[in-house]
Structure 1
Amino acid sequence: MPRIVRLTTAAPKARRVTTCAHRYELPADLEAPRLLRTWITARLAGWHLHGPSDDLLLIATELASNAVRHGGTPARITLALRCPGTGQRVVRLEVEDSGPGFDPRSRRHPVRVESRTGRGLLLVDTLSSAWGVRPTDTGQLVWAELPT
């Protein structure tokens, strides 16, 4: 069952950052990324956001598909809306799985034209304002951010 988490933290110089986050447990099933797209669309509508939806859905599908295909385990999805004191809101997507992980620097090689795979992280890099990977105690977390 998705969970709603609301966090408020004090930032330097009395700026406040408000974050509203939703979590989703993604099963280790190749059909699961399709269900994730429906879930994300509903969360964005709840926040009255429509601008980042197409790019965010493509990024979410790619990261969730990678987690299921390469990690082979269920994944925890976190979708957060950050509202820093600057007024610009940012949507952050996190996909955490228990798979073996990867080094994103190793994915920087050119993709062969005839290849059917290997372009996903290039899409994530192109469509997001920032993205990254960090190890966790049980696997890895891949995240991407988009301004609203």
Structure 2
Amino acid sequence: MKTATIQLPPDTSSSEAARRFVRSRLDEWAYAGVHDDVIIATAELVSNAVRHVGSPVRVRLRLDGGCLRLEVGDDSSTEPTLRAPDVNGGFGLTLVDSVCQRWGVDQVPDDGKIIWCDCGNGAPVR
């Protein structure tokens, strides 16, 4: 299993920094899956954390066989909800839901939450 982690500040530049980090890890690992899907999920989850929580954002990738798990953590225990997009937003999780095989939220006691999504082929990473 391969893993990579980065912590980013709660500002608007973090989404682009997270995309660069993920893209470089996928290239380094010669990941054969669809890079664009992982990049889209990364951008949306990091942007949501910065916009709605305002705490440092932790991004972790785990590659196990053909399955890639993206995890984005923040300091809030409030779980995001998938809602229909409208003029006020709601596109982030809808995009994640459409480009990833599955996604969910794990609460981290006294440390917020992790939103994860499985983006590759194969069994889920555990």
TM-superposed CA distance for 1:117, in Å, is: 1.2
Query: 5+ residue gaps in structure 2?
Result: 122-126
Say which SS state the counterpart of residue 76 (structure 1) adopts: strand
| 1: CA distance, partners of 2:91 / 2:62 | 25
After superposition, residues 32-47 of structure 1 pair within 5 angstroms as 32-47=14-29
Using the size of structure 2 for normalisation, the TM-score is 0.88
Secondary structure of the residue that 2:119 maps to in structure 1?
Answer: strand
* Residues 1:31 and 1:96: Cα distance change in structure 2 (over 3 Å): same
Shift of 1:146: 1.1
Shift of 1:111: 2.7
The higher-RCO structure (CA 8 Å, 6+ apart) is 2
Contact in 2 for aligned 1:129/1:146 (Cα 8 Å): yes
Is residue 59 of structure 2 the alignment partner of residue 77 of structure 1? yes
Flag the structure with larger Rg: 1
- Structure 1 residue 50: Cα displacement: 4.9
Deviations 1:34-57 (A, max 9, x none): 011111111001111253211100
* Structure 1: gaps spanning 5 or more residues: 1-18, 84-88
1:111 is aligned to 2:93: no
Give percent identity, aligned residues only: 33
Amino acid across the alignment from 1:96: G
Cα distance in structure 1, aligned partners of 2:58 and 2:113: 11
Report whether the alignment pairs 1:96 with 2:73. yes
Per-residue deviation, 1:103? 4.8
Misfit runs of 4+, over 2 Å: none
- The structure-2 alpha-carbon separation of the partners of 1:53 and 1:95, relative to structure 1 and needing over 3 Å to count, comes to same
Give the AA of the match of 2:85: V
Alignment of structure 1 residues 1-148 onto 2, 5 Å: 19-83=1-65, 89-104=66-81, 107-108=82-83, 110-112=84-86, 115-137=87-109, 138-148=111-121
d(CA) in 2 for partners of 1:103, 1:26: 20
Give, in whole Å, the separation in 1 of the partners of 2:80 and 2:85.
Answer: 16
Per the alignment, residue 124 of structure 2 pairs with none
